[in-house]
Structure 1
Amino acid sequence: MDRIQRQELFARLRAANPEPTTELAYASTFQLLIAVILSAQATDKSVNLATRQLFADAPTPQAMLALGESGLIPYLNRIGLYQGKTRNILATCRQLLEQHGGEVPHSRTALEALPGVGRKTANVV
């Protein structure tokens, strides 16, 4: 595909879906970050089932970190690779609080420095 063909493809996609969104349910940038971390090798449907109650009970990095590993696992154990994702989410929450004032950073470099966040996750967020 040459440059002109790529531009035409993206123009058609933009016309067909001018405001693309994700199927992941979230109410904040932090919740989107957590949902995308969880979505690796999982369906959006399974992530939404897990995060619906999690985000109601722990909507912020502080609240999620306060759950600890044993408190977070019951929300996530229906998602593949949940044990590693649990550790990464807690480490990410800790880093958000310690290095970013509890806010999700805007730069891709800072996002990729968070545990469990790679280039794809950073691009989505």
Structure 2
Amino acid sequence: MSTDTNQLETWALQRVITSAIALADSGRYHDFTDIDYALRFEHGWIEARALIDDGKMRALLNDRCASAQACATAQVAASLAAASASEPVTVAKPSLLRLAFGLRAVWRAPAVKSAGAADLGSAAV
């Protein structure tokens, strides 16, 4: 079976574009550069940048990434609102160690005094 080189190039271009759009619609990528990286290094298409490096394609992928991320953010916010409305808020109890030793729930760094001219050798770093 003989295949024309142009058919192979067309198939590769369609495959890369379809994959790039699917990655953009997934909401996991920020913009064109993230998709380019994923196609080249995670999917193994080294020639991906040459196939999708076009101003219109970049704009399309960037727009799809932005809309997918906005949709994902809205879904997360809606699910958090639904979860908080249906379940009562519980406060975590301190651990047994914290209760036994009277440790604070939040660790705070000790205050550092400003080092004067005489204290330069003893200043904590």
TM-score higher than 0.5? no
Larger radius of gyration: 2
TM-score by length of 2: 0.28
Say which structure is richer in helix.
1
